[in-house]
């Protein structure tokens, strides 16, 4: 499984159910990496998508404890164990964990790689990705040149489990 996220200097990913920054190049990167693959998310992440709808051209799986939850074009898992059963059908290199915080925390141990867009700014935030720089089992293996979008500086990085 691969985690994919955009984080600020403090590894923050969101506030009030929204992304911290809307960077077109990051959205394009996310779309290119995940299209044709499986994305796993929590219910609040799904709700943050346009119209709260599943993203097209992907298998959308929502991990939620809400037993009554259902949504068009969404596969629902009510536990990590149930999710494991569903994901057994798919190549793990084509499964992306896309958030939010609690889903990243639960699924990071199952990830071998993380595509992290690092934003050189500190935002007010209430949702975070685990800080991979503080985890001995993770190493940054790639980093793009710094890019800018208006006044936002960012880089695309890849982390891999040692």
Spell out the per-residue pLDDT of the chain, length 162, in tens. Answer: 999 999 999 999 999 999 999 999 999 999 999 999 999 999 999 999 999 999 999 999 999 999 999 999 999 999 999 999 999 999 999 999 999 999 999 999 999 999 999 999 999 999 999 999 999 999 999 999 999 999 999 999 999 999
CA–CA distances in Å: residue 100 to residues 26, 97, 109, 151, 160: 17, 9, 15, 26, 20
H helix or E strand, kind and range, residue 147: strand 147-149
The residue ranges of every structural domain in the chain are 2-161
Instruction: Give the predicted TM-score (pTM) of the model.
Output: 0.96
Phi, psi at 6, each rounded to 5°: -110, 130
Q: Single out the residue of 57, 54, 52, 33 nearest to residue 113, CA to CA.
A: 33
Candidates 3.20.20.30, 3.30.360.10, 3.40.430.10, 3.40.190.10; CATH matching 2-161: 3.40.430.10
Evaluate whether 124 touches 9 at the Cβ level (below 8 Å): no
């Amino acid at each position: 499984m691969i985690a994919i996220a955009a984080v600020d200097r403090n590894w923050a990913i969101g506030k009030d159910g929204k992304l911290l920054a809307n960077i077109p190049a990051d959205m394009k990167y996310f779309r290119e990496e995940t299209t044709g693959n499986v994305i796993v998310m929590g219910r609040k992440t799904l709700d943050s998508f346009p119209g709260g709808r599943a993203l097209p051209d992907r298998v959308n799986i929502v991990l939620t404890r809400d037993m009554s939850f259902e949504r068009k074009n969404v596969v629902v898992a009510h536990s990590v164990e149930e999710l494991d059963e569903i994901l057994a059908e798919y190549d793990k290199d084509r499964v992306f964990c896309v958030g939010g915080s609690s889903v990243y925390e639960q699924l990071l141990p199952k990830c071998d790689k993380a595509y992290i867009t690092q934003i050189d700014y500190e935002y007010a935030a209430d949702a975070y990705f685990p800080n991979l720089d503080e985890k001995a089992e993770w190493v940054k293996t790639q980093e793009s040149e710094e890019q800018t979008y208006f006044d936002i500086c960012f880089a695309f990085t890849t982390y891999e489990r040692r």
